[in-house]
Amino acid sequence: MCRQQALCGSDCEVEYLFERFVSLLEQYAANGSVPMRMGRRHEPGHVWAGPPARPEEIAEVERQLGHPLPDDYRAFLERWNGAAIFTWGQSHTPCVFGTHELLDSPSLLDDPRVLTIGMLADEAFLVLDRRVRTAHGWPVYWADELDSADELLERPAIANSFAEFLDRFVEAEGSWYWVRPEPLEWYQDPKTPGLWRHGLGLFFLPYKYYHRDGVRHYIRLGLPSSSHAMTAPAALIAMGLRDHLLRLGGTFGVPRDFGWPPNHPEWVFGFGSNETALPKFKPADIPPAVFAGGGWQAVAPGLWIHGASGVCFWSRRANTHTGGPPIGTYILTWPVHAAKVAEPLRERLSRIKTSEFEPGRLPPGYDGVEFSFWARNGVPPEILPI
């Protein structure tokens, strides 16, 4: 019986041992990148795998180790002599070692009971337990540079075999990759009739609101919040819809008019008290607003865009709906090529005793930062980008 048959059945091939990794390689070859999760954001990630290791290379590794490699890791080397998975920028980790790295592996775990076969970060290593050499797969551990083999082997293994670890790692790290991301365009929500969503974090929904004096019809235009962040493209789409609804006779309102939290990122437009008064159109048919000018310009209360670069600044200062202390949220986003334009404003925000966070999902090619202000005896300062 061959090694692969012993691991997964009579009809098994090497690909079936690493099915998710094969799919990842195929998708990367087709698209040139894969979404990589950096906090809650998507970044273009890369995946790479080497050509098959020559039989004599594997034999030399096993000769120096004094025993065969586990079947699943050997099968990997026979197909790909090393790999880098979900890497970003100039980083080459996480990675699986090939035969060359195995013969020159880090010495921090130079112990006959363990074998270092990869790296998860610059100072984190993927380690196999060499003590059970009769098994087809050896237990997998995670170790940092300060761990000893004694400390490592006292902890529970993170996987029962290398094949199991790789499958779990690709599935977990690729959670954004396996699930199709939202399209960067308007699309109808299949679960809610009349609700339109946009991949930049906007939503559009006609609805009825029951006042004391009767029913009135409204359109809600939701702005990016929570997992999304306001960017210049999203702001221009929202402005285009706002201006169109106002031209159609809509009465502009804000959430506080309806007893909602005053910092709710949403615009509301009223259209009378009968069905015929509500305009019928698709948000996808309304073009974004056109920005005029090359410097900073206020395009809505608290919302600024730098026309020449596409840097966007959104200042949301409000009290909570519970009557608590004043809070402030300042969101700064920019195209990666315009980081220098955003830097002076980012430095000013950093000096007002705010907490910094990643702002959530951003469109490809964008970066950003969110600043949160909270104080018992003060109000969030008014920050202008000019």
Q: Are 358 and 369 in contact (CB under 8 A)?
A: yes
Q: How far apart are CA 152 and CA 255, in angstroms?
A: 55
- The pLDDT value recorded for residue 207 is 83
- The dotted CATH code for 3-178 is 3.40.1580.10
> 95: which 2 tokens?
């990675």
Q: What is the mean pLDDT of the chain?
A: 81
- The pLDDT value recorded for residue 231 is 94
More confident residue, 306 or 7: 306
Q: How far apart are CA 168 and CA 166, in angstroms?
A: 5
Closest by alpha carbon to 62, among 115, 119, 5? 115
> pLDDT digits over 120-158, tens only?
877 788 999 988 877 788 999 988 877 888 888 888 999
Pairing of strands 355-357, 41-49: unpaired
pTM equals: 0.61
Which of the listed ranges 2-6, 50-54, 132-136, 187-191 does the model predict with the highest average pLDDT?
50-54
Q: How far apart are CA 219 and CA 95, in angstroms?
A: 50
- The pLDDT value recorded for residue 276 is 59
Does residue 202 carry a pLDDT above 90? Answer: yes
The residue count of the chain comes to 386
- The pLDDT value recorded for residue 376 is 59
- DSSP-derived letter for residue 135 is S
Q: How far apart are CA 258 and CA 267, in angstroms?
A: 11
- Domain ranges (residues) in the chain: 3-178, 186-285, 296-374
More confident residue, 307 or 264: 307
Helices (H), 189-266: 232-247
- DSSP-derived letter for residue 4 is H
> pLDDT digits over 304-344, tens only?
999 889 999 998 876 444 445 567 789 999 998 999 999 99
Q: Mean pLDDT throughout 258-271?
A: 66
